[in-house]
Structure 1
Amino acid sequence: MRFLTEIVDALVGFVQRNPLTVLVILILALGAPALLKGIALFILYFFMGLILLALAAMLFFRWRIARMRREMEEQFGRGFDGASQDGFRGGFGSRQRDTARREGEVHVHRTSETPAKRVSEDVGDYVEFEETKD
Structure 2
Amino acid sequence: MNFLTAILDALVRFVQRNPLTVLVIVILALGAPALLKGIALFFLYGIMGILLLVVAAILLFRWRIYKVRRQMEDQFGEGFGGRNPGGQGFGSPFSGEPRKGREGEVKVYRTSETPEKRVSGNVGDYVEFEETREPKEE
**TM-score bucket (shorter structure):** 0.5 to 0.7
The answer for the alignment partner of 1:12 in structure 2 is 12
Structure 1 pair 100–8 and aligned structure 2 pair: CA distance change class (3 A): closer
Q: Please point out which of 85, 89, 95 is paired with 1:83.
A: 89
Take 1:36 and 1:100, find their aligned partners in 2: how far apart are those partners?
73
Structure 1 unmatched ranges of 5 or more? 87-93, 102-106, 115-134
The answer for the alignment partner of 1:126 in structure 2 is none
**SS state of the match for residue 66, structure 2?**
helix
Write 1 or 2 for the structure with the bigger share of helix. 1
Deviation >6 Å, runs of 4+:
none
Question: What per-residue deviation string (whole Å, max 9, x for no partner) do you get for residues 15-70 of structure 1?
Answer: 11111111110111111111001100111011000011100110010111111111
Structure 1 pair 95–70 and aligned structure 2 pair: CA distance change class (3 A): same
Structure 1 pair 45–95 and aligned structure 2 pair: CA distance change class (3 A): same
| Greater length-normalized contact order (CA 8 Å, ≥ 6 residues apart) | 1
Instruction: Decide whether the 8 Å contact of 2:79 with 2:91 is kept in 1.
Output: no
Aligned residues: 100
Structure 2 unmatched ranges of 5 or more? 82-87, 93-99, 118-138
Q: What is the TM-score normalised by the length of structure 1?
A: 0.63
Identity %: 62
Take 1:71 and 1:14, find their aligned partners in 2: how far apart are those partners?
54
Structure 1 pair 110–76 and aligned structure 2 pair: CA distance change class (3 A): closer
Q: How does 1:75-114 map to 2 (within 5 A)?
A: 75-81=75-81, 83-85=89-91, 99=105, 111=114
